Structure 1
C-alpha cells in the first residue's frame, strides 16, 4: 500500500509543475524552434566577451583611424578616380628602398614614337 501512496503523492506534486511548464511555453513553437533559440542564446553568451573586447579596441583605435581618413581620404579618392580597373594590376610590392610599386598584369603596348620637332613629314610645308 505504501508504494501506491508514494506514486499518488508524486503525481499530485508533479501535475502542477507540468501545467506551469506548459503555460510558459508559447503555443505553436516546436522543439526545433526552442532548441535553435537556446543554441543562439548560448552562442551569444559565448561571443559576448570577444565583442566587448572588440568594442574597447575600437574605442582606442577609432580616433587614429578617423585622423588617417581625414588626411589621406582626398588622396585615396583621387587615386581611385584615376584607376579605372583595379583587376589589371598585380598586388602592391615593396622594394628594399621602401618604395611601393603596383605593376600591371599585362604591360601596355609601347606608344608610337614621336617625330622630332625639326623633321617635317612628307607632303607638308613649314611656313
Structure 2
C-alpha cells in the first residue's frame, strides 16, 4: 500500500513537469510549422508584391479615366451582375430630366412608303 501511495505522489508531482514539457514541445512544433510555412510562402508573397508594384500605374490611370466619366461615385449603387453577365450600375437618384434625343424624329410614312 505504501508503494502505491508513493507511486501516486510521484506521478502527481511529475504531471506539471510532463505538462510543461508537452506544452513546450507543442510551442516548438507550432513555431517550426510557422517557420516552414513562411519559407514556403515567401516567394509567392515576393511575387505578389512585385505584381502590385507593376500594376500600380495601370490602376492609377484607370482611376483617373473613371474619374473623368463618373463625377461622383457616391451617387451610384454598387454594381450588379445580371444572369446574362451584364454589369449594371444604377444611380441612387434618377436624373430629373432625360437626355435630349440626338436624332430628329423620322417623318410619318403611309403604307405606300410616301412621306405624309
Which range, TM-score by smaller chain?
0.3 to 0.5
Using the size of structure 2 for normalisation, the TM-score is 0.44
